[in-house]
Amino acid sequence: MTESARRIASDAEGFILEAEDRRAIAQERDHYEQPQAACIEALKIVQRRHGWVPDAAIPAIAEVLGVGPADVEGVATFYSLIFRQPVGRHVILICDSSSCFLNDYEELRDALSERLGIGFGQTTADGRFTLLPVCCLGACDRGPALMIDDHTYGPVDPGDVADLLEGYA
């Protein structure tokens, strides 16, 4: 075992993969020829419960899938929707791609940033919101668009930002 693998393994102490999550991951595993394929879904399952994926969850997931922790870590650090640090109770994804850009996305971004007092990749001090950019949300006919948690909104006028955020405690 390499030094980094040992470190990751020792981090696992203290992280408990809930039985329900363990079952859900095992079930996902059955959809594929090889268990590694359930890796992304496993990370999402952990994230749904904890809000993010702590380092200590990596070896726990690896163990259920029967793959190396480094394989899980490599995947967990690649994908933008897997969060590797704590995020707010609500995650705001602002579309920063071309159509929204042409529909004054930058004004919306600045309005949100000012209202929340944070920039991209940051979380408000009260732990309520995290702000992130996202690839074209496929809502180009109603840009500028953004997602808050499970819902997509558009077009979002910078003047409506305060009202929109009110709905998310």
Partner 1 sequence: MSVRRYHSQLRQGAAERRAETHPLTWRLREDGTMVGLEEYVEKKGYAAVREVLNHRTADDVIKTMKEANVRGRGGAGFSAGVKWSLTMKGPDIPRGYLVCNADEMEPGTFKDRLLLEQQPHLLIEGMILAGYANDSCFGYIFLRGEYLEAARAVQRALDEARAAGWLGADIAGSGFDFDIALHSGAGRYICGEETALINSLEGRRANPRDKPPFPGQSGAWGKPTVVNNVETLCNAPGVMHHGAQWYQELSGELSDDGGTKLYGVSGKVNMPGLWELPIGTPASELLERAGGMRDGRTLKTWLPGGGSTGFLLPEHLDSPLDFDSIGKLGSRLGTGLLTVVNEDQSVLALVRNLEQFFARESCGWCTPCRDGLPWTVKLLQALERGEGEPRDIEMLDKLADDLGPGKTFCAHAPGAAMPLQSALKYFRDEFERGVTNPAGVTHDEPMPVGEA
Binding-site residue numbers for [2Fe-2S] cluster are 95, 100, 136, 140
**Contact flag: residue 140 with partner 1 (CB under 8 A):** yes
Q: Is the dihedral of CA 59, 62, 67, 72 positive or negative?
A: negative
Could you tell me if 118 and 128 are in contact, meaning their C-beta atoms sit under 8 angstroms apart?
no
Q: Are 113 and 57 in contact (CB under 8 A)?
A: no
Q: What is the CA 51 to chain-centroid distance, rounded?
A: 8
Find, among 56, 61, 81, the residue nearest to 71 by Cα: 61
Residue 123 near partner 1 by CB under 8 A: no
- Choose, by CB under 8 A, the member of 12, 24, 25, 39 that binds partner 1: 39
Nearer to partner 1, 3 or 33 (CB): 33
136 binds partner 1, rule: CB under 8 A: yes
Chain residues binding partner 1 by CB under 8 A are 31-41, 43-44, 71, 74-75, 78-82, 93, 96-99, 101-103, 134-143, 145, 147, 150-154, 156-157, 160, 163-164, 166-167
